[in-house]
Structure 1
């Protein structure tokens, strides 16, 4: 189960880095819940769809350093580069803790910190 969940997350991330937002969302449950700790909470696939459309002005670039899986959870540690509203690339360090249900991403708890790298 844990290894399969890691593969699902890798496929979902591959879709989003290609700009395939709907392909990414296909890996999420309809009632997916995303918590960006200290920032915002997104409830449901439609809220996530709107977030992705506004936050990813162009496809993000992920540098996954570690994927750790146990049971229904996969934790991803790494860096992400995004274009900001000024057209500049910004880099963030992140720790995403995903909970899976029935082979789909049901919940995200994300810790994201902008870095000066």
Structure 2
């Protein structure tokens, strides 16, 4: 049975791949910190929104497969695969794992995300 935080993370990631960033932003604090390992560091809600847009993982041809969601206290992790069609019509596949830290135990918002992403070449 999925926890409330697990449901929020699933909903948020589904909204992300569909480009529904208003929905994503409902679940983060104003001072959100996003570390993309090997990539940029983002701080603040508006910078987070812009970074999400620039990432390009959203669109009608993007699919998300979530393999697991683990929640415990103020922390959580979600791992899965995103498949997308790039602007040149080529298919790209990425495996990812995000770790999360919430600001409160119950009904909290996400204050930190750390993302690990690997492109899978088939």
TM-score with structure 2 setting the length: 0.83
Aligned partner of residue 15 in structure 1, secondary structure: helix
Bigger shift: residues 15-24 or 30-39? 15-24
Structure 1 unaligned segments of length 5 or more: list them: none
1:112 counterpart (104, 109, 117): 117
CA deviations over 1:58-100 (Å, ceiling 9, x no partner): 3342211011111111111111123435343311111110111
Q: Does 1:20 align with 2:24?
A: no
What are the residue-to-residue correspondences of 1:1-117 with 2, within 5 Å?
A: 3-56=3-56, 58-59=58-59, 60-102=62-104, 103-117=108-122
The verdict on how the C-alpha distance between 1:101 and 1:39 changes in structure 2, with shifts beyond 3 A counting, is same
Note if contact 2:14-2:64 (Cα within 8 Å) is conserved in structure 1: no
Whether the 8 Å CA contact 2:69–2:79 is kept in 1: the answer is yes
1:34/1:42 contact within 8 Å kept: yes
Gaps of 5+ in 2: none
Specify the SS of the correspondent of 1:58. coil
Question: In structure 2, how many angstroms separate the alpha carbons of the residues matched to 1:61 and 1:37?
Answer: 22
Q: Output the aligned Cα RMSD.
A: 2.0
Is the strand fraction higher in 1 or 2? 1
- Residue 5 of structure 1 contacts residue 72 of structure 1 at CA under 8 Å; is this kept in 2? no
SS in 2 for 1:54: helix
Aligned length: 116
Q: TM-score, normalised by structure 1?
A: 0.86
